Amino acid sequence: MPIIQAVQMNPEELSAALECYLQMRQALICRNPECEKTARRFAALAPADIAMRRQMSASQCWDHVWRKPFYAGKNARVIDRQVEAIGTNGCLAKFETLAGAIDDTAHPWHVEKEGAHCYAKGQEVRAFCTKTGIYRALPYLTPAHVIRRVIRLATLFKDWEQDQDQATKGSGSFIDAMTGGNAEPSQAFPPSLFDALAGAVGKITAVHSLMDLGFRCVKPDIWMSRITTSCGWLPGYTAKDVEKNRRGAWDLLFERCAQVAAAANERFPSPNSLRELDCFISGYGMTFKPAGCPCAEAEHVAPSQTGDGR
């Protein structure tokens, strides 16, 4: 992935972007007050502090990551119920039980791929994908290709765990094993870690995972791309440019969103203001589905409700 020197917003651009973000934030809270608690919860779970990130165990890192393939291309509010139920069930809680299931045809979680199609072959994964047996209470059917991605992640985690054991006899940081010792990169995240995750789950889901591990990025999905470009945060870029990361669009997106988040943090202190910004912008997009810049469509926000006037 190309790395460019991201250009920061000037004071006028930052002021306008901040006001637009605060309008979105307040509009969403007015529509659904619970969303603020949700954003704060996600922000608290994403360790922005490098010392906290290095304290995370392999199982804690896995708990951040295994859910992400379920969200790819789906409405988060629908999928939330599904991953909550799966988390309660506990079937995907341990990466050790899933690692290697793609290559082992006798594995109970074995998933085969033939052409563009994936098939649940193992006894356990068949029951899971068809909601039978102990999985009958799951709210939605899960396509086999989603479980295949989770298994590929689990295999990566098993390899990283072995790297950690060999390098430090189990006493070192798991995040250092994941990043090859580059847990605090100069850019948004270590390219080698991004490449490994992207090979397992796809590029945007990889960024989603890295964001929840506390790295300095936001997920460049359809709503983040549409809103930031329509609001003028990324001059000269289209939403499709951002989704496809054309001309280093992601680096600019991450840098400018981090600027807006830092400015918002002065009014609304957060354990991870960038993760919180992602929650509010994505939530705003899913709720209001704006056709253009939300500031130009702000009739749903009374003047007294904009900014920090709560």
pLDDT in tens, 105-138: 999 999 999 999 999 999 999 999 999 999 999 9
Q: Residue 163's pLDDT is what?
A: 82
**Domain edges within the chain:** 1-48+216-310, 56-213
Which pLDDT tens digit goes with each residue over 152-196?
999 999 999 988 777 555 557 898 889 888 777 777 888 999 999
Q: Residue 1's pLDDT is what?
A: 41
Q: Residue 297's pLDDT is what?
A: 63
Q: Note whether 208 and 83 are within 8 A (CB).
A: no
Q: Residue 298's pLDDT is what?
A: 55
SS3 301: coil
Q: State the DSSP H helix or E strand holding residue 87, giving kind and residue range, or none if neither.
A: helix 76-89
* Spans of the chain, pLDDT less than 50: 1-5, 299-310
Q: Residue 7's pLDDT is what?
A: 82
Q: Residue 170's pLDDT is what?
A: 54
Distance CA 63, CA 95 (A): 9
Give residues with Cβ within 8 angstroms of 177, minimum separation 6: 160, 161, 163, 164, 167
Give residues with Cβ within 8 angstroms of 28, minimum separation 6: 35, 280, 283, 284, 287, 288
